Structure 1
């Protein structure tokens, strides 16, 4: 086999004007990677070499899930190279070629993920400059990765001339008008290209087809094409989205890629509303048990009952509540994302003023309401607030329930719609309610565990990434990625109000709370550290440096140790919180992402995202006791309450696997919705909830052993 430096070239994956991409074996680290080799002509350009190294450093720092991580970059054997994570999937260009134009719902789901990656790059001052379908990788679960930052441009620096003629590099079909001149290039340049991609996904046509002069003239002078004319059946609402995204003047475009994605979601929602049958009046809905399942006396009945919410909680749309026939049979699980309204930034991030009328977010046409109606509604809301507080809030730290015996083969009880992009979930200590981080909608969804239905949402000032509760359940902590950096929002669970915002510089990836509630820990990737928060002060009181790119966190049951999954260092770090002694580091499988403690033994379970396995770490011996192969890209892990099993969410395989913690073997593989991103277990261990990132649902697992 051909070899370059430490890499053995296995197969050519693709090639273009910016070089070749190979599937290669990294002999030094013993892993398969995607190796991009840039053309020798660019390697000889001193200016390009300098910019390439600078921008590769910047891209390597990005920690957005939809950007493929860069392991290494530099020069080997006279060639510039990028060593990246190898991801199995097809380019969006291949998807369009093989499947034709995509449905509006699927298009919006893909474009929203591309937008997240672009906004993360833009926040760090990088413009991609070559957004196109061939630079979008789509996994079998429709999870998106944006690739090829070979033309990335740092805002505020001079643009290099990389061709002899001075013509800008890029792909003409998606090139913004300012790229043909010396006008400034910024994030809105990528917004233009993303609008072109949106148009092509809906129609399988380029916005301005033809030869070079024809395309250039179109981008500079011709009005954006209409999706509804290019492909009959596409809702006309998308025409306005494409038109604004492809505006000739950058000032008239959407300011961010996320704003374009939000407009596309609104267009999809509007089209669905117009074609939907009139809704029946709201009424209590009784869940249907899974087929063949007998009622269990030890589990609460699953009933979707509409109830009033405390101030700060937003009710879900009425039709979403009707759609939440909680825990529907697995055979009837919806496979597409429910049409829920997108939320803009709340002008009052801390929540509505207590006593103010709850916002009406229903899909129904606006109606005129009389003063008497509002008086009755106000009384109902006040009564509902009292009922909710008595029902959901513990009076004191709740005693830990006795764990049920966990089953080696849990069953799917059903699915529940919970929003747009549920990325993480945590069940409150009393087990009666849970919070779901909805990354795209910028809200936390309040989930009624006993009722088995989403009750409402809490607006938060950013994109939520993770959730954790104080031991008494009175406060929740939400990790947020914001437009500028990151923070932890503190939510009063009695009112739904954001009562504090604690800056963490870079967006925290995970949260953990000490068993006594005295400290909150957040993983911050830049600089790589664990941020320590004192809840009494609502302030950062310490930063503990750790190895590169900390992701998952977990505090030991006794509160003495904190485990950190160091994603890029292939390590798990165990910090002794009681003594402050030097941390213990243990090498584990590639790309450690999430970590969970055994509730009884000094064992850790660490998912190896790129290594496709789980490392079982003996903390006392500081070694890996076992390595268990799993399905592709295990992203999260949680243990059962009795410690007999661990549940592993494999995001690109659409399954949760069950690990026997005694034998270190997989006992079951359970299908879920698309892109299972996290697992949360009730305090007694009787149920587990899996967030289906791309379906907007929870897959509910009955994890208790049959009696």
Structure 2
């Protein structure tokens, strides 16, 4: 485990750093101890330079709020947090284990029993989230940890979660967010996403675990602005891994249909088929007439403890956008002219400029 650098702080609030676990684009992650009670946690420390961006600030806040809403054995539990313009941290369960990407890279293909265990854990966590109007949107092998002692799977990284009923979790400027190799077509095209988007990603994760092969990026599948009518070009699973049953391959196929209406309509339906396969029962291909059905959120679902209590306080508001350097004189003229023109005329002018520059 990498140690701390000479200039890194020893403490964050009540948390004493004991080692560094890693660093990403938004945060560094440490192993830490909560001084008052000695509890070991993973401390995600948001980089202050990133939080000056309103978009990254909202993403950090979104993850905190989403995890506060959840209380499930297969979702990280929040133990404490701080977030303001000067920086912040998020203390969650410390997981002694490895993520699925590391496990498949090291150990190769998973067998069917392993797939069933992962499917139950991840499917159960997603069913819980979806009932509360939370859609993860970034399910991938690197965001699923497996406990070393028990084999239990835990979903990580709620940084780009979408919420249908929480005004304090907002989108990031309409940007398309996710991981290309695990992104559903509707997500890539900027269309409406829901729980079936997460199930598409689950299907690709199971494909990766069963075959050891990375799925192709969604950009290779999508042409134009419409959802494609064919599934991603994947290798036949049983040809690569004969230990996987026909039923399991059908489940994966039901997850990764490009049309959301021809996937499982909910995580509960997915779990029902996982249960059938575990008992040796056959499963059926999702029927095409489900294309007209909308994804439904359970209005009676109980909310997590933090759902109604965590508000967007002044300290948690995103900072103002930094001043932007003025554009070169030639570019300013184009902007001034474009403001007074209709969108159609602007598009024609842009196309003309691009043509003349060829």
* Residue 115 of structure 2 corresponds to residue 107 of structure 1: yes
2:74–2:153 contact (8 Å) kept in structure 1: yes
Structure 2 distance, partners of 1:246, 1:483, is: 24
Aligned to 1:231: 241
User: Which structure: greater strand fraction?
Assistant: 1
Aligned pairs for 1:516-527 within 5 A: 526=305
2:110–2:209 contact (8 Å) kept in structure 1: yes
Structure 2 distance, partners of 1:198, 1:106, is: 10
Aligned to 1:300: none
Matched position secondary structure for 2:145 = strand
Aligned pairs for 1:286-685 within 5 A: 483-485=298-300, 505=302, 526=305
Aligned to 1:148: 157
Aligned to 1:244: 254
Aligned to 2:337: none
* Residue 87 of structure 2 corresponds to residue 79 of structure 1: yes
Q: CA deviation at 1:41?
A: 5.2
Structure 1 distance, partners of 2:231, 2:139, is: 20
Structure 2 distance, partners of 1:60, 1:191, is: 23
Q: CA deviation at 1:62?
A: 1.2
1:74–1:80 contact (8 Å) kept in structure 2: yes
Structure 2 distance, partners of 1:49, 1:36, is: 14
4+ runs of 1 displaced by more than 6 Å? none
Aligned to 1:5: 12
Aligned to 1:202: 210
- Counterpart among 124, 130, 135 of residue 132 in structure 2: 124
1:196–1:246 contact (8 Å) kept in structure 2: yes
Matched position secondary structure for 2:67 = helix
Q: CA deviation at 1:152?
A: 1.3
Aligned to 1:160: 172
Q: Which has the higher contact order (CA 8 A, sep 6+)?
A: 2
Q: CA deviation at 1:117?
A: 0.9
**Residues 149/527 of structure 1: CA separation in 2 closer, same or farther (3 Å cut):** closer
Structure 2 distance, partners of 1:268, 1:251, is: 25
1:244–1:253 contact (8 Å) kept in structure 2: yes
Structure 2 distance, partners of 1:41, 1:248, is: 38
Structure 2 distance, partners of 1:526, 1:34, is: 21
Under a length normalisation based on structure 2, what TM-score does the superposition of the two structures give? Answer: 0.67
Q: CA deviation at 1:107?
A: 0.7
Aligned to 1:700: none
Q: Which has the larger radius of gyration?
A: 1
Unmatched runs of 5 consecutive residues or more in structure 2:
284-296, 308-358
Matched position secondary structure for 1:122 = helix
* Residue 220 of structure 2 corresponds to residue 214 of structure 1: yes
Under a length normalisation based on structure 1, what TM-score does the superposition of the two structures give? Answer: 0.36
Matched position secondary structure for 2:208 = helix
Aligned to 2:68: 60
Structure 2 distance, partners of 1:185, 1:80, is: 30
Aligned to 1:262: 272
Spell out, residue by residue over 1:607-626, the C-alpha distance to the aligned partner (whole angstroms, 9 max, x if none): xxxxxxxxxxxxxxxxxxxx
1:228–1:234 contact (8 Å) kept in structure 2: yes
Q: CA deviation at 1:97?
A: 1.8
**Residues 33/526 of structure 1: CA separation in 2 closer, same or farther (3 Å cut):** closer
**Residues 169/14 of structure 1: CA separation in 2 closer, same or farther (3 Å cut):** farther
* Residue 42 of structure 2 corresponds to residue 34 of structure 1: yes
- Counterpart among 192, 198, 201 of residue 184 in structure 1: 192
Structure 1 distance, partners of 2:135, 2:105, is: 27
Structure 2 distance, partners of 1:12, 1:247, is: 40
Comparing 4-13 with 120-129, greater Cα deviation is found at 4-13
Matched position secondary structure for 1:184 = coil
2:63–2:157 contact (8 Å) kept in structure 1: no
Spell out, residue by residue over 1:425-469, the C-alpha distance to the aligned partner (whole angstroms, 9 max, x if none): xxxxxxxxxxxxxxxxxxxxxxxxxxxxxxxxxxxxxxxxxxxxx
2:71–2:77 contact (8 Å) kept in structure 1: yes
Spell out, residue by residue over 1:360-418, the C-alpha distance to the aligned partner (whole angstroms, 9 max, x if none): xxxxxxxxxxxxxxxxxxxxxxxxxxxxxxxxxxxxxxxxxxxxxxxxxxxxxxxxxxx
Spell out, residue by residue over 1:129-156, the C-alpha distance to the aligned partner (whole angstroms, 9 max, x if none): 1111111111121112111111111126
Q: CA deviation at 1:161?
A: 2.8
Q: CA deviation at 1:526?
A: 4.3
Q: Number of paired residues?
A: 277
Spell out, residue by residue over 1:491-529, the C-alpha distance to the aligned partner (whole angstroms, 9 max, x if none): xxxxxxxxxxxxxx56xxxxxxxxxxxxxxxxxx6489x
1:38–1:80 contact (8 Å) kept in structure 2: yes
Unmatched runs of 5 consecutive residues or more in structure 1:
274-340, 342-481, 487-504, 507-524, 529-707
